Structure 1
Amino acid sequence: MRIDIEDLQVSYAGRTVVSGVHLMAADGETVGLVGPNGSGKSTVLRTVYRHLRPTAGRVLLAGSDIRELAPDRAARHVAALPQERGSDFELTVREVVAMGRTPYKRAFAGDDRADREIVLRSLAQVGMDGQAGRRFSALSGGERQRVLLARAFAQQPDVLVLDEPTNHLDIRHQVELLTLLRDIRRTTLIALHDLNAAASLCDRLHVLAGGAVVASGTPREVLTPELLSEVFGVRAAVTDHPLTGDPLIAFDHRAPAAEAGDRGQREAVASK
């Protein structure tokens, strides 16, 4: 299912934090939002899963304004893993994941056999099927992350909205999660700090800075040394990953950020 964001503007307490944002994710595409802290990535995603109402512009789901859909209907189409994640659920892992079935139920209806099968399958997808009876509050940060992702899968949405889903995950589970997202081929909007993960996973990237989209395209088109210097203030080289062929960013960890930014701007000017 296609997502279109048109001329989006969001303001808090009279201050505009996102303005003039246009971006899209085609059916089955994985689209990444990248940018420095405070660039507006999470704000944009919150409008997609209806946590925020835009000041102007709109979010279209298969051509329909998502704000005009009933909440339960919207929840059948869009599932989110936000950054604000509860850690005090006094529920079992199975019960937390079963919350993903709520949009399909009448009030006070219990789980049926199909619901239970979907919950177990969702837990298996994230490698937590052996933990169904544990208390959610007793889990580690990485385990909670995987359970909440399973809850999103149990919702069986057309669109996944994921805000930093690899936070708290060790390397193995990061790789497994990215592989899973690549394999399911569901329309996905994902914010990532890890630019190499974004280059490997995403079909398209939108780069945000100062609340606006400053670059869009494939990872190879977008992740250039010039952009990395100008937007992120780092000096880096971009090469091919020796195992996958994806763009691979090698950062110069010895160059101070200000020096890297100044040097990148000088190099960009000299190349014109």
Structure 2
Amino acid sequence: MRIDIEDLHVAYAGRTVVAGAHLVAAEGEITGLVGPNGSGKSTLLRAVYRHLRPTAGRVLLAGTDLRELSPVRSARHVAALPQERGSDFELSVREVVAMGRTPYKRAFAGEDAADRDIVSRALADVGMDAHAGRRFTALSGGERQRVLLARAFAQDPDVLVLDEPTNHLDIRHQVDLLALLRSQRRTTLVSLHDLNAAASVCDRLHVLHAGAVVASGPPRDVLTPELMAEVFGVRAVVVDHPLTGDALIAFDHRAPASPQAPVSGSRPATVRCVR
């Protein structure tokens, strides 16, 4: 299913954080959100998975406003891995993942064979099947991250919304996760701080700056040295990755870019949206 975000405005803690965002997450593609801290990525995603109500604009799922769907119907289509993650589940790993089946169950209904198969497959996908009986609270941060991702997979959604899913993961599990997302070819809207990971895994990127989408397009078209300087305030060059051929951004870690990023809310002069 396709997600269309139209003229989205979202306020949080009394201020407008997302101001007039337009973007598309195409069916079966991985669409990335990148931008500096405070640019509105997490707030935009919270509106998509209905944690925040937009002050204006719409989020459309296959042409239907998500707000017109009941919470249960919405949860059957959209699963989220937010940044604010519960850590106080007094449940086993398997019980946490089984919570993803809730939208499909009547009140007080137990697991059936199909549920058990889906939960087992989700645990195997994230490499946590051997830990199914452990307490969730006994896990490391990276292990919890993988369990909560398995819960989202167990929801069997049409759309995945992932907010910094590689946080807390070591490099091996980051690579495994990004490869898994690509192999599933599920409509995915994901925010990532790691621009090289975004360039590798995403079919299309939307760059947020001061709550607005300032550039959109394939990673190689979007992640230019000019954008790195104007939006992120860093010096960088873009080369071919020697192993994959993807765009690889090499940063100058010794000095920031000059001049710094433009005034809040303005579109970088050298950046063009590729629709």
Match of 1:261 among 258, 262, 272: 258
Tell whether the 8 Å contact from 1:100 to 1:155 is kept in structure 2 after alignment. Answer: yes
Higher helix share: 1
Alignment match, 2:225? 225
Q: 1:94-125, CA deviations, whole angstroms, 9 ceiling, x for partnerless residues? A: 00000000000001111111101110000000
**4+ aligned runs moved over 4 Å, structure 1:** none
Alignment match, 1:177? 177
* Distance (whole Å) between structure 2 residues aligned to residue 50 and residue 12 of structure 1: 13
Alignment match, 1:59? 59
SS class of match (1:253): strand
Tell whether the 8 Å contact from 1:235 to 1:264 is kept in structure 2 after alignment. Answer: no
Q: Is residue 2:25 matched to residue 1:25?
A: yes
* Distance (whole Å) between structure 2 residues aligned to residue 75 and residue 47 of structure 1: 14
Percent pairwise identity: 81
Q: 1:219-254, CA deviations, whole angstroms, 9 ceiling, x for partnerless residues? A: 000000000000000000100000000000000001
Alignment match, 1:161? 161
| Offset at residue 16 of structure 1 (A) | 1.2
Gapped regions of structure 1 (runs ≥ 5): none
Alignment match, 2:91? 91
Q: TM-score, normalised by structure 2?
A: 0.94
* Distance (whole Å) between structure 1 residues aligned to residue 14 and residue 261 of structure 2: 35
Alignment match, 2:2? 2
What amino acid is aligned across from residue 168 of structure 1 in structure 2? Answer: H
Q: How does 1:196-207 map to 2 (within 5 A)?
A: 196-207=196-207
Alignment match, 2:149? 149
SS class of match (2:258): helix
What amino acid is aligned across from residue 130 of structure 1 in structure 2? Answer: A
How many residue pairs match? The answer is: 265
Tell whether the 8 Å contact from 1:225 to 1:264 is kept in structure 2 after alignment. Answer: no
Q: TM-score, normalised by structure 1?
A: 0.95
* Distance (whole Å) between structure 1 residues aligned to residue 225 and residue 103 of structure 2: 45
| Offset at residue 12 of structure 1 (A) | 2.8
| Offset at residue 262 of structure 1 (A) | 1.6
| Offset at residue 264 of structure 1 (A) | 9.1
What amino acid is aligned across from residue 50 of structure 1 in structure 2? Answer: R
Q: Is residue 2:104 matched to residue 1:123?
A: no
What amino acid is aligned across from residue 163 of structure 1 in structure 2? Answer: D
Tell whether the 8 Å contact from 2:10 to 2:17 is kept in structure 1 after alignment. Answer: yes
Alignment match, 1:82? 82
* Distance (whole Å) between structure 1 residues aligned to residue 126 and residue 12 of structure 2: 35
* Distance (whole Å) between structure 2 residues aligned to residue 63 and residue 242 of structure 1: 41
Q: 1:264 to 1:43 in 2, by over 3 A?
A: closer
* Distance (whole Å) between structure 1 residues aligned to residue 180 and residue 116 of structure 2: 21
Alignment match, 1:193? 193
What amino acid is aligned across from residue 149 of structure 1 in structure 2? Answer: L
Q: 1:269 to 1:212 in 2, by over 3 A?
A: closer
* Distance (whole Å) between structure 2 residues aligned to residue 139 and residue 55 of structure 1: 38
* Distance (whole Å) between structure 2 residues aligned to residue 110 and residue 261 of structure 1: 60
